[in-house]
Amino acid sequence: MAEDITKEEWQEQIANDSNAIILDVRTEEEVEDGFIPNMLNIDIRMGQGFLDEIAKLDTSKNYYVYCRSGARSAQACTLMDQMGFSKTYNLIGGFMNWDGEISE
């Protein structure tokens, strides 16, 4: 079931979640401008390619999903729910709103 969480909840939950996977659904160009460390990048704009890559993931893990503003990641969470993922978290406000650690 997808859940929208704030950046504060996101940071706190990931710090305490040994089953967490951070999923960045932005484009390669967007990722080059910076990203949340230790993420997995699968571009939702790839359409079927995105679904194919998502299908390879472990559905029992907890996925923390983000994009630039929170719209594409919400869409990704919905798709992942439909594909049988048990826990997906959407970062409210996306990367634009993120003030935590960043890698470049």
Answer whether 41's CB lies under 8 Å from 26's CB.
yes
Q: pLDDT (tens digit, 9 = 90+) per residue, 40-63? A: 999 999 999 999 999 999 999 999
Confidence bin at 5 (pLDDT 50/70/90): very high
The predicted structure's pLDDT at residue 96: 95
Q: Which of 22, 36, 67, 91 is catalytic?
A: 67
pLDDT at 104 over 90: no
DSSP string, 34-52: -B-TTEEE--GGGTHHHHH
Entry pTM: 0.96
77 is catalytic: no
Domain boundaries, the chain: 2-97
CATH topology of domain 2-97: Oxidized Rhodanese; domain 1 (3.40.250)
Q: Give the pLDDT confidence score for residue 98 in this predicted structure.
A: 94
**CA distance linking residue 54 with residue 50, whole number of Å:** 6
